[in-house]
């Protein structure tokens, strides 16, 4: 995934998430900002690290209730980066993802269907990663039932 596309995604996310809060304040209403779902399929730790760097930048600038929820749905080879037997090689990425999840900056989800294709057992991923049966179904559910916007 090109870095330019990732930067565009995060700028768009920030712009879209601040507007509803500003409009609600102007009209004297309060509502939580909408959520955003980002489908992630990357092939390298470097590409995933760029996504986590951008999410970390948001964490430093705003509180989660100011910019909305971000669901990152993993369903590609990047799932292997989180496997317990790969932890030592990817410790910084796993720990950064854990911190972002803990600080409620992002919610990370893993597609169990892709996990089976990659021969990853459920017990091999960290507990902070929510496992979902099928990524496209979960993305559709987030959009239809929880009002998320897909980016």
For residue 137, CA distances in Å to 52, 132, 133 come to 24, 9, 8
The DSSP call for residue 104 is T
Give the residue-averaged pLDDT of 25-51.
75
Pair of tokens at residue 44 = 């390298």
Q: Model-level pTM greater than 0.95?
A: no
Ordered by start, the domain boundaries in the chain are 3-150
Cα 43 to chain centroid distance, Å, stands at 16
* pLDDT on residue 77: 93
Convert the pLDDT of each residue in 81-124 to its tens digit: 999 999 999 999 999 899 889 988 889 999 999 999 999 999 99
Q: Which CATH superfamily is domain 3-150 in?
A: DsrEFH-like (3.40.1260.10)
* pLDDT on residue 22: 46
Convert the pLDDT of each residue in 105-116 to its tens digit: 889 999 999 999
Query: 101: closest CA among 139, 135, 39, 59?
Result: 59
Pair of tokens at residue 138 = 């979960």
């Amino acid at each position: 995934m090109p870095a330019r596309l990732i930067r565009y995604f995060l700028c768009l996310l920030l712009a879209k998430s601040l507007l509803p809060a500003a409009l609600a304040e102007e009209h004297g209403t309060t509502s939580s900002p909408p959520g955003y779902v980002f489908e992630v399929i990357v092939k390298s730790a470097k590409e995933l690290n760029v996504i986590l760097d951008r999410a970390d930048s948001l964490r430093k600038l705003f509180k989660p209730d100011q910019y909305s929820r971000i669901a990152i749905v993993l369903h590609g080879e990047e799932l292997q980066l989180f496997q317990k037997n790969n932890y030592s090689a990817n410790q910084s990425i796993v720990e950064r993802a854990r911190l972002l999840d803990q600080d409620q900056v992002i919610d990370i989800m893993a597609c169990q269907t892709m996990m089976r294709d990659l021969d990853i057992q459920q017990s091999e991923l960290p507990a902070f990663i929510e496992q979902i049966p099928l990524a496209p179904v979960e993305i559709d559910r987030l959009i239809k039932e929880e009002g998320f916007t897909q980016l």
